[in-house]
């Protein structure tokens, strides 16, 4: 075969092919939910994951999975959850998708429990649910709800391991420690698989399939300070953009209020759900001023902005007045250590405090991409026709954080990401299963199509000189942090766009000095940079284009929400670098649509 | 203790195990001098990443960098642990630190071991719920708080491999002795009130090797980065097996 190890140029004629019914790129929650569905239906499925599946970032989710399973409150209603989610999204979440998620959620939760997920329990032997931000009863009129199902504060770990175990049982085929580089498209704009290489041997393959699911998770690593794992580099998003498909609402990045100061690692919103609260240097519980009703459990965008306002106005804590405190010590060691054991561990490790005794120093940290690859509720990827109408891409699906279905709109509620993963991972699996039963016909790609998808791998493999990709990545993270943080202005963003554009030029000329084939992690990192660049540029340009403040996107030069012009999704294409608009769905099937109101907490 | 406070460390002599299967060389230890910022206590993983900036060819696994994904199990100054949550101040001695791959498994490259044997043993214990209780996607299988508490200390395993690769019994018989990680997992399902396959599980474990090669050395307990106690879980399985045989 072609030895990429010596920098040989790869082409379609020598590239080995492996064929599967379905390929899932990504072994986190949504990927393994989709693969489980396919494996159970007897399809020949492969999960392509750059890490062993249980190393995926779903494992870090702490607080829980929000769903109206009527355990804490027998009268709870999925419509109340839907209302909260629509309001949380600042009204640009698609209401058909939110309805589907909230309504289908309970079944998915019970399915997971039946698979063995070790949820914490109530006195009645039911699944334990705790309070989380932005949750209400009776459409915001009935006070704080407790709707987040939890396995202590290790819900993501419990979920991911349970899904891995269920996939082991179902016989899913794992291509573990394989890196997917680019999508392969045929001449009809259909996706027919991916180019990927086995990291251990360095051997590249064309993985051919009639259904490819991008379940590659987030891309928080475009920022300097993030809660995200080192692997969260937006690989699927980069692949989709390079293949000519759009991304949606990429300006919407959630900054989680309680990142551990100096490290970025999270402590869960469940800390505040269990009764913790934030204080400034004067010991004042400042959220009472910003959100008189919900206080510390206002939604994340509101809390993060309030924290930064405290810091900017000189009421921050510590010698540099650059963070605030999360107080838990009043809850007593029993609650802190029993309900929040993981937080206790992280806080001792990274902040050197036992939260049962001392407050944790916290500052908002980049956490979650509300935007991503646009899909419908079946996970089918959507592009846009020239006249602005939706166009479904054959053969390509996306689910989880990589996707934008869009249930989170401008701001995601805590506990909704795990629900998103399992509900839409499953729905993508179901749709693929049904499509296979109905029969899928697709043309094979030409050798030119395959060669085109090999171009980036080839470029990196044969590079003889050029930019240091580690430096380019650092500069990218710095400019994103400086210019596209919690508070944004046109001046900063224009500067940021220029810098990102320069870094993109550099990224086209990166040099991989080490050409060895076996477990060459430098090659993986070089290719990841190309994905980070795509995501960062999409974020930068979309952010500057949205001339309003909504959800997580907060502009000092346009401080108000502008429903007249921007009750819309933004759609961005990488090849034209243009942003267009797409209608938000206001057509749920079983309830009346929730109309935009002023969003207060 | 010779542990040195982070504020005193300036230049660290870091010694890393290097091996490239494609080069006709034996494995060797390569030294790096790493300048350590003094104001904060770096983790071992941070130091490895600084070394990789000097030499991008150094290979190691990492993902969450907060001790929950289990990627970076390493042998750090002779003891297994996770790079990302092991502070330099705990392990560096006289400004020296030596990092090797987890022992007992084949090395693929540098600090990366082949986890296949480890994962195969895990799969052998049927690490999933088997139940003949009524399963209904409209409700949870009931479980009391007390029943659920029995899983604490069992379900939190992150499959980093630190325990099994610290276990002499696993070194000798990695194919026949299941090792502490897989046995902890086996007991996690035996202990789950919702699982009804205890008999089937015990039967599978009843031979001279699977469980009984554990001699209570307790290296697994002393290295587990999550503070779990596989020896105790293995003891419980042994008790059940003995009871069953009587």
The DSSP string of A154-167 is -HHHHHHHHHHHHH
- Candidate list A300, A412, A488, A561, residue with the active-site label: A300
Cβ atoms A101, A419 nearer than 8 A? yes
Cβ atoms A307, A324 nearer than 8 A? yes
The Cα–Cα gap between B233 and A162 comes to: 20
pLDDT reported for residue B6: 47
Cβ atoms A352, A261 nearer than 8 A? no
Distance from CA of B106 to the nearest CA of A (A): 13
Nearest CA in chain A to B120: A168
CB interface of B with A, residues 112-151, below 8 Å: 112, 115, 119, 123, 126-129, 131, 135-145, 147-148, 151
**Paired strand residues for B98:** B15
* Nearest CA-CA partner of A278 in A320, A306, A299, A254: A306
Q: In which residue are the tokens 């729905």 written?
A: A427
User: Any CB–CB contact under 8 A between B2 and chain A?
Assistant: no
The Cα–Cα gap between A178 and A199 comes to: 5
Reported in sequence order, the residue ranges of A86-226 that DSSP labels E, i.e. its strands, are 129-136, 144-149, 173-176, 178-185, 191-198, 204-214
User: Any CB–CB contact under 8 A between B46 and chain A?
Assistant: no
The Cα–Cα gap between B73 and B77 comes to: 13
A496 φ, ψ to 5°?
-60, -40
Q: Are strands A191-198 and A178-185 parallel, antiparallel or unpaired?
A: antiparallel
Assign 3-state DSSP to chain A and report helix, strand, coil percentages, each to 5: 40, 25, 40
Here the contacts of A380-389 (C-beta below 8 Å, separation 24 or greater) are A380/A428, A380/A431, A381/A214, A381/A240, A381/A245, A383/A244, A383/A245, A383/A246, A384/A246, A384/A571, A384/A580, A384/A582, A388/A580, A388/A581, A388/A582
Cα distance between the two ends of chain B: 48
pLDDT reported for residue B133: 86
Neighbours of A386 (CB within 10 A): 7
Q: What tens digit of pLDDT does each residue of B201-232 get?
A: 999 999 999 999 999 999 999 999 999 999 99
Q: What tens digit of pLDDT does each residue of A314-360 get?
A: 999 999 999 999 999 999 999 999 899 999 999 999 999 999 999 99
* Nearest CA-CA partner of A431 in A480, A395, A458, A468: A395
Residues of B within 8 A of A119 (CB-CB) are 140, 148
Q: Which residues of chain A have pLDDT under 70?
A: 1-7
Give the mutation candidate from A149, A198, A521, A529 for the B interface (greatest B CB count, under 10 A). Answer: A521
pLDDT reported for residue A7: 63
Convert chain B into a string of H (helix), E (strand) and C (coil): CCECCHHHCCEEEEEEEECCCCCCCCCEEEEEEEECCCCCCCEHHHHHHHHHHHCCCCCCCCCCCCCCCCCCEEEECCEEEEHHHCEHHHHCECCEEEEECCCCCCEEECCEECCHHHHHHHHHCCCCCCCCCCCCCCCCCCCCHHHHHCCCCCCCCCCCCCCHHHCHHHHHCCCCCCHHHHHHHHHHHHCCCCCCCHHHHHHHHCCCCCCCCCCCCCHHHHHCCCCCCHHHHHHHHHHHHHHHHC
Token pair of B130 as six digits: 């088997």
Nearest CA in chain B to A116: B129
Distance of CA A265 to the CA centre of its chain: 16
CB interface of A with B, residues 166-205, below 8 Å: 166, 168-169, 200
The Cα–Cα gap between B63 and B71 comes to: 6
Query: Would you call A305 a catalytic residue per the annotation?
Result: no
Q: Are strands A403-404 and A554-555 parallel, antiparallel or unpaired?
A: unpaired
pTM of the entire structure?
0.96
Residues of B within 8 A of A152 (CB-CB) are 152
Is A517–B22 a contact, with Cβ atoms under 8 angstroms apart?
Answer: yes
User: Any CB–CB contact under 8 A between B5 and chain A?
Assistant: no
CA distances to A172, A467, B54 from A460, rounded to whole Å, are: 32, 11, 20
* Nearest CA-CA partner of A233 in A249, A246, A216: A216
Neighbours of A397 (CB within 10 A): 32
The Cα–Cα gap between A439 and A454 comes to: 29
The Cα–Cα gap between A235 and B156 comes to: 29
* Nearest CA-CA partner of A476 in A528, A511, A513: A528
HSE-up (13 A, CA, CB side) for residue A330: 9
Helix (H) or strand (E) holding A398: strand A390-398
Residues of A within 8 A of B112 (CB-CB) are 519
Cα distance between the two ends of chain A: 61
Of A55, A346, A516, the CB nearest to B20: A516
Is B63–A5 a contact, with Cβ atoms under 8 angstroms apart?
Answer: no
Residues of A within 8 A of B225 (CB-CB) are none
CB interface of A with B, residues 77-106, below 8 Å: 106
The Cα–Cα gap between A3 and A15 comes to: 10
Please tell me whether residue A138 adopts helix, strand or coil conformation: coil
Crossing angle for the helix pair B179-190 and B116-124, nearest 10 degrees? Answer: 20
Nearest CA in chain A to B160: A55
The Cα–Cα gap between A135 and A120 comes to: 20
* Nearest CA-CA partner of A561 in A573, A571, A570, A551: A551
Q: Which residues of chain B have pLDDT under 50?
A: 1-4, 6
* Nearest CA-CA partner of A520 in A204, A56, A199, A303: A199
User: Any CB–CB contact under 8 A between B50 and chain A?
Assistant: no
The Cα–Cα gap between B62 and B68 comes to: 11
Q: Which residues contact A438 (CB under 8 A, 6 or more apart)?
A: none
Q: What tens digit of pLDDT does each residue of A542-595 get?
A: 999 999 999 999 999 999 999 999 999 999 999 999 999 999 999 999 999 999
Helix (H) or strand (E) holding A538: helix A521-545
Token pair of A113 as six digits: 């429990």
Cβ atoms A398, A420 nearer than 8 A? no
pLDDT reported for residue B38: 75
Reported in sequence order, the residue ranges of A224-350 that DSSP labels E, i.e. its strands, are 247-248, 253-260, 277-279, 324-327
**Interchain CB contacts (distance < 8 Å): A and B:** 147
The Cα–Cα gap between A327 and A349 comes to: 17
pLDDT reported for residue B8: 55
Is A120–B40 a contact, with Cβ atoms under 8 angstroms apart?
Answer: no
User: Any CB–CB contact under 8 A between A522 and chain B?
Assistant: yes
Give the mutation candidate from B19, B116, B128 for the A interface (greatest A CB count, under 10 A). Answer: B128
pLDDT reported for residue A123: 97
Nearest CA in chain B to A512: B56
Prior bond of A250 cis (ω within 30°): no
Residues of B within 8 A of A113 (CB-CB) are 140-141
User: Any CB–CB contact under 8 A between B93 and chain A?
Assistant: no
Please tell me whether residue A123 adopts helix, strand or coil conformation: coil
Neighbours of A62 (CB within 10 A): 24
Cβ atoms A150, A143 nearer than 8 A? no
Nearest CA in chain A to B114: A200
């Amino acid at each position: 075969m072609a030895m990429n190890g010596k920098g040989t140029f790869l082409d379609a004629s020598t590239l080995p092919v492996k064929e599967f019914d379905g390929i899932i790129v990504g072994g986190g929650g949504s990927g393994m939910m989709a693969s489980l569905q396919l494996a159970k239906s007897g399809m020949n499925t492969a999960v392509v994951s750059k890490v062993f599946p249980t190393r995926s970032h779903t494992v870090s989710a702490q607080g829980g999975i929000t769903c109206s399973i009527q355990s804490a409150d027998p009268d709870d209603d999925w419509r109340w959850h839907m209302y909260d989610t629509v309001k949380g999204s600042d009204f640009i979440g698609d209401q058909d998708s939110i309805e589907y998620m909230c309504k289908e959620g309970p079944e998915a939760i019970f399915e997971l429990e039946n698979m063995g997920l070790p949820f914490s329990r109530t006195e009645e032997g039911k699944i334990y649910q705790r309070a989380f931000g932005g949750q209400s009863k009776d459409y915001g009129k009935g006070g704080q709800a407790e709707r987040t199902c939890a396995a202590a504060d290790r819900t993501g770990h419990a979920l991911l391991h349970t899904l891995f175990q269920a996939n082991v049982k179902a016989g899913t085929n794992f291509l573990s420690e394989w890196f997917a580089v680019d999508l392969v498209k045929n001449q009809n704009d259909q996706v027919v698989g991916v180019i990927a290489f086995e990291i251990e041997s360095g051997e590249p393959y064309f993985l051919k399939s009639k259904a490819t699911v991008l379940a590659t998770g987030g891309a928080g690593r475009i920022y300097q300070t993030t809660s995200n794992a080192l692997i969260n580099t937006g690989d699927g998003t980069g692949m989709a953009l390079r293949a000519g498909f759009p991304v949606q609402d990429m300006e919407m990045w959630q900054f989680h209020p309680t990142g551990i100061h100096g490290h970025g690692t999270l402590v869960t919103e469940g800390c505040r759900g269990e009764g913790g609260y934030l204080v400034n240097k004067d010991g004042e519980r400042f959220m009472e001023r910003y959100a008189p009703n919900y206080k510390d459990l206002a939604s994340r965008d509101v809390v993060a902005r309030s924290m930064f306002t405290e810091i900017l106005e000189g009421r921050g804590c510590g010698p540099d007045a650059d963070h605030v405190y999360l107080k838990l010590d009043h809850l007593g060691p029993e609650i802190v250590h029993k309900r929040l054991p993981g937080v206790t561990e992280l806080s001792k490790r990274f902040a050197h405090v036992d939260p049962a005794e001392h407050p944790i120093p916290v500052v908002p940290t980049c956490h979650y991409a509300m935007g991503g690859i646009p899909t419908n509720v079946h996970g089918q990827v959507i592009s846009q026709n020239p006249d602005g109408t939706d166009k479904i891409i054959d053969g390509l699906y996306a689910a989880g954080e990589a996707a934008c279905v869009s249930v989170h709109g401008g701001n995601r509620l805590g506990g909704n990401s795990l629900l998103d993963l399992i509900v839409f991972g499953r729905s993508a699996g179901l749709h693929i299963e049904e499509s296979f039963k109905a029969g899928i016909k697709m043309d094979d790609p030409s050798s030119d199509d395959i060669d085109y998808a090999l171009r980036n791998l080839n470029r990196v493999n044969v590079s003889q000189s050029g930019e240091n990709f580690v430096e380019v990545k650092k500069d990218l993270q710095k400019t994103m942090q400086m210019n596209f943080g919690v508070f944004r202005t046109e001046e900063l963003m224009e500067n940021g766009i220029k810098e990102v554009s320069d870094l993109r030029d550099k990224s086209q000329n990166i040099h991989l000095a080490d050409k060895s084939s076996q477990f060459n992690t430098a090659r993986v990192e070089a290719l990841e940079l190309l994905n980070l660049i795509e995501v960062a540029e999409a974020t930068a340009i979309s952010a500057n284009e949205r001339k309003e403040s909504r959800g997580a996107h907060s502009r000092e030069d346009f401080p108000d929400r502008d429903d007249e012009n921007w009750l819309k999704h933004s759609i961005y294409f990488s090849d034209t670098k243009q942003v267009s608009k797409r209608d938000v769905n206001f057509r749920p099937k079983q309830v009346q649509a929730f109309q935009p109101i002023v969003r207060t907490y | 203790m010779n542990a040195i406070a982070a504020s005193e460390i300036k230049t660290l002599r870091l010694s890393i195990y290097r091996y490239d299967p494609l080069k006709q060389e034996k494995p060797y230890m390569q030294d790096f001098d790493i300048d350590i910022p003094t104001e904060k206590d770096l983790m071992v993983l941070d130091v490895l990443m600084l070394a990789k900036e000097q030499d991008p060819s150094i290979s190691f696994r990492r993902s969450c960098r907060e001790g929950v994904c289990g990627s970076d199990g390493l042998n750090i100054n002779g003891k297994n642990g996770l790079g990302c949550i092991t502070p330099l101040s705990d392990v560096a001695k006289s400004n020296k630190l030596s990092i090797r791959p987890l022992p007992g498994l084949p090395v693929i490259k540098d600090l990366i071991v082949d986890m296949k044997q480890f994962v195969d043993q895990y799969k052998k214990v049927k690490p999933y719920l088997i139940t003949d209780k009524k399963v209904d996607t409209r409700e949870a299988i009931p479980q009391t708080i007390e029943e659920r508490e029995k899983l604490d200390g069992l379900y939190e395993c992150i499959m980093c491999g630190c325990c099994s690769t610290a276990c002499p019994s696993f070194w000798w018989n990695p194919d026949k002795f299941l090792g502490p990680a897989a046995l902890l997992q086996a007991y996690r399902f035996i202990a789950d009130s919702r699982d009804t396959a205890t008999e089937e599980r015990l039967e599978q474990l009843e031979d001279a090797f699977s469980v009984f090669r554990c001699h209570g050395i307790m290296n697994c307990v002393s290295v587990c980065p999550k503070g779990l106690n596989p020896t105790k879980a293995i003891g419980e399985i042994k008790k059940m097996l003995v009871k069953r045989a009587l």
